[in-house]
Amino acid sequence: MFSEKANAIFKEVINKYHLIDSVEQSFVNPYKEDAQLLEHLLYRKCWIDTVQWHYEDIIRDPNIDPVSALSLKRQIDASNQDRTDMVEYIDSYFLENNKEVSIKTGATINTESPAWGVDRLSILALKVYHMEEEANRENASQEHRDSCQTKLNVLLEQRVDLSTAIDQLLAAISEGEKYMKVYKQMKMYNDDELNPVLRGEK
């Protein structure tokens, strides 16, 4: 099933990141774009999410230098754009992979595309990893660990449900029972022509 592959790659990425555990570390994709495109895209997607997760931790430091915070905010903005781009690349893969499917009469479109479900699955993998850390943190109180274990159990159940829903959606698309489209996000705040501040207007 697709979700098994995705969840395994997400775990691989998160474990790899935490060997060094630095947002400054270099990125190397072990999956070749020309031979293992889907795996390549999934690995890159989760790496972006993992680095951004830690950006978000750093910027919440109450003692962060304001200049550093502004620089980090720019990095987060760029990361968000990369994240959106990767979702669109993954959806384009699914669209290309199903281009020969005959869409059945009465087929419906889903409220979100498969790749936006994948986006949530990647973030969920990060939540599971870090909640498990907290549930097992030796210098935390037993009350804290018990609370985090309860939350972890919910996250694990959520991952099963989300994985099942994504697999069902992809199966329905492959059988022509649902169809998909790729809508560009058309983010305006990063665009020199669409953001009046970047255009230089007062």
**What average pLDDT score do residues 19-29 get?**
97
In a domain, 174, yes or no: yes
Which residues lie closer than 8 Å to 95 by C-beta, 6 or more apart?
Answer: 180, 181, 182
In a domain, 110, yes or no: yes
In a domain, 196, yes or no: no
E strands along the chain, which residues? 108-109, 178-179
Nearest to 3 by CA among 168, 156, 175: 168
Residue 178: φ, ψ to 5°: -130, 160
Question: What confidence score (pLDDT) does residue 195 get?
Answer: 76
Predicted confidence band at 192 (pLDDT cuts at 50, 70, 90)?
A: confident
Structural domain boundaries, residue 119: 2-185
Structural domains counted in the chain = 1
pTM of the model: 0.91
Question: What confidence score (pLDDT) does residue 23 get?
Answer: 97
**What average pLDDT score do residues 31-43 get?**
97
**What average pLDDT score do residues 157-176 get?**
98
Predicted confidence band at 186 (pLDDT cuts at 50, 70, 90)?
A: low
152, 34 Cβ separation under 8 angstroms: no
In a domain, 195, yes or no: no
